[in-house]
Amino acid sequence: MTHPAQPKASHFINGEYVEDTGGTPIPVIYAATGEQIATVYAATPAIVEQALSTSKAAQKEWAKMTGTERGRILRRAADIMRERNHELSVLETYDTGKPLQETLVADATSGADALEYFGGLAGSLTGEHIPMGEDWVYTKREALGLCVGIGAWNYPTQIACWKGAPALACGNSMVFKPSETTPLCALKVAEILHEAGAPAGIYNVIQGMGEVGGALVTDPRVDKVSLTGSVPTGKKVYAAAAEGMKHVTMELGGKSPLIIFDDADVDNAVGGAINGNFYSSGQVCSNGTRVFVQKGIKERFLACLAERTGNAVIGDPMDETTSFGPMVTENQMNIVLGYIEKGKEEGARLICGGERADMDGYYIQPTVFADVTDDMTIAREEIFGPVMSVLDFDTEEEVIARANDTEFGLSAGVFTNDFSRAHRVIDQLEAGSCFINSYNDAPVEAPFGGVKASGVGRENSKEAIKHFSQVKSVYVRMGDVEAAF
Ligand code: NDP
């Protein structure tokens, strides 16, 4: 019998599901059991062509609609997503393995927030009037054209919406390629946008691995590429986009610092460290995986952390009491287990976890290492799994320098009850998305993105509008034209 997660077809193009079994089969594996639940096929060159040509053709008419009309469609899509939240959350859990306890509140809901927020902004995208004596200049905020979105596997619904909603609000069309690991959810986003009234071709979804992403990025009809992925992929995609002088948004990886001063509320700081390391089994780009704890509270912090980590409910992601699910794939599990071994070999002190959990599926115990030093592999490389490194520090100046000593710059957090110190420290941290006495909040109203190797551009908020539109300026002369001859 067909599994309920199996989509009607692999691709959604020009308002309908489209299949081409000539492409490489992509098995969809449920991470909690290792069972194959669906198959999709990578886009063939004919599918890539169909996706690009229909999206290109649809964009001009879409851009001619008023922002309010476009916004109404996005807001209707938000309502449909919320109505179907349970079904979409179950699918997100099948796609990623993340527990339903999380997906019910963090995925389709976050996607719906983006559709609603950018739907609301669409009618207010205006230019400026600049007086020049009796002449004047006016500016128009125009769509870029055809945009490509390429997603990572950790938040397939959210990423499809965080890219699609601002793109469509500005009058662009989008071809979205999900990660081959989690191909299911973006198809639902396309289906819902279409049901809400988006014209055929405005938001197409096609499947495939890196080559399909590469074919989209290099196509001359494409005006902008927005990628969520790792730094190495980001470098390749950015370079390929530069060849065609295309706009880019790069949301890449991180190794973010979370700094806990000894005047902090320990329970809240532990809560922040748990949210910043173990949510989605640690598969979150902005995670605060280098937890710097001031020496005065170190042992108290570790004791509280070990006790609360012991309360994680590891198990069936479809059971709403489960609070900690598996890694997305066997491969990702093995990568993370490799890092845990490195941590042990390089002399970090294991506080809890440190092993594969004893059950079917790709589960790893939530793991905490203490006495981690800056040079250890687990403190330098992005692990993308439930592995927290706790490092000690003495002074504010020292911790700022150590926190910034990384190629990454996505996020940073500070826990302290001294508010002038909180702001002073945050000001000096090289990161795009920061937190004071909190960690990993990502409301659509706030800009999200990194500095240094963690990326270029911002998602969400009014900032995203700037990255999905361009300004045309028009000089209007009222009098005669003076010329030299
Ligand atoms: P990857 O970089 O491996 O892949 C990202 C996407 O790019 C996938 O869809 C992938 O396809 C595609 N791709 C790979 N090669 C190319 C290419 N040459 N041209 C075009 N597209 C290509 O990332 P993961 O999926 O492994 O996701 C984890 C990474 O994403 C982590 O580093 C994480 O930090 C980052 N991330 C960043 C976020 C942010 O907002 N800053 C949020 C979430 C994750 P395929 O997978 O099918 O090969």
Is 35 marked active-site? no
Percentage of residues in the chain with pLDDT exceeding 90?
Answer: 100
DSSP 8-state assignment for residue 254: -
**Spacing, Cα 178 to ligand 1 middle (Å):** 9
Whether residue 217 contacts residue 249, with contact meaning beta carbons closer than 8 Å, is answered with no
What is the C-alpha separation between 413 and 33, in angstroms, rounded? 35
* Paired tokens of 143: 């769509």
Q: What is the mean pLDDT of the segment spanning 75-80?
A: 98
Asked whether residue 62 carries a pLDDT value surpassing 90, the answer given is yes
Q: 221: how many CB neighbours lie within 10 A of its CB?
A: 15
What is the C-alpha separation between 485 and 476, in angstroms, rounded? 21
Q: Which of 179, 237, 238, 407 to mutate to test the pocket of ligand 1 (most atoms within 8 A of CB)?
A: 179
**Spacing, Cα 289 to ligand 1 middle (Å):** 19
Q: Which are the contacts of 397, defined by CB distance < 8 A and separation ≥ 6?
A: none
Reported as a single tens digit per residue, the pLDDT across 369-396 is: 999 999 999 999 999 999 999 999 999 9
Q: State the pLDDT at residue 249.
A: 98
pTM of the model: 0.97
Q: Residue 183: CB within 6 Å of ligand 1?
A: no
Q: State the pLDDT at residue 263.
A: 97
What is the rounded average pLDDT for all residues in the chain?
98
* Paired tokens of 56: 């290109």
Reported as a single tens digit per residue, the pLDDT across 394-434 is: 999 999 999 999 999 999 999 999 999 999 999 999 999 99
Q: What is the mean pLDDT of the segment spanning 451-470?
A: 98
Is 462 marked active-site? no
Q: Residue 384: CB within 6 Å of ligand 1?
A: yes
Catalytically annotated residue among 170, 285, 352, 434: 285
Q: Residue 382: CB within 6 Å of ligand 1?
A: yes
What is the C-alpha separation between 125 and 140, in angstroms, rounded? 9
What is the C-alpha separation between 434 and 446, in angstroms, rounded? 11
What are the φ and ψ backbone dihedral angles of 343, each rounded to 5 degrees? -60, -45
**Spacing, Cα 154 to ligand 1 middle (Å):** 10
Q: State the pLDDT at residue 119.
A: 98
User: Pairing mode, if any, of strands 247-251 and 455-456?
Assistant: antiparallel
Q: What is the DSSP string of 307-360?
A: HHHTT--BS-TTSTT--B---SSHHHHHHHHHHHHHHHHTTPEEEE--SB-SSS
Reported as a single tens digit per residue, the pLDDT across 335-359 is: 999 999 999 999 999 999 999 999 9
DSSP 8-state assignment for residue 448: B
**Spacing, Cα 113 to ligand 1 middle (Å):** 23
What is the C-alpha separation between 338 and 192, in angstroms, rounded? 40
Reported as a single tens digit per residue, the pLDDT across 205-252 is: 999 999 999 999 999 999 999 999 999 999 999 999 999 999 999 999
Q: Residue 58: CB within 6 Å of ligand 1?
A: no
Q: State the pLDDT at residue 1.
A: 80
Q: What is the mean pLDDT of the segment spanning 188-204?
A: 98
Q: Residue 218: CB within 6 Å of ligand 1?
A: no
Q: What is the DSSP string of 173-193?
A: EEEEE--TTS-SHHHHHHHHH
Closest ligand 1 atom to 454 CA: 41
* Model confidence band, residue 23 (pLDDT cutoffs 50, 70, 90): very high
Q: Whose CA is closest to atom 40 on ligand 1?
A: 251
Catalytically annotated residue among 92, 98, 147, 163: 163
Reported as a single tens digit per residue, the pLDDT across 110-135 is: 999 999 999 999 999 999 999 999 99
Report the candidate in 161, 147, 171, 146 with the shortest Cα–Cα distance to residue 70: 171
Is 463 marked active-site? no
Closest ligand 1 atom to 240 CA: 19
Element containing residue 67 per DSSP (H, E): helix 67-83
Q: Which are the contacts of 331, defined by CB distance < 8 A and separation ≥ 6?
A: none
Element containing residue 102 per DSSP (H, E): helix 100-106
Q: Whose CA is closest to atom 45 on ligand 1?
A: 209
Element containing residue 441 per DSSP (H, E): none
Q: 86: how many CB neighbours lie within 10 A of its CB?
A: 12
Closest ligand 1 atom to 179 CA: 9
What is the C-alpha separation between 17 and 295, in angstroms, rounded? 58
**Spacing, Cα 264 to ligand 1 middle (Å):** 35
Is 246 marked active-site? no
What is the C-alpha separation between 56 and 38, in angstroms, rounded? 30
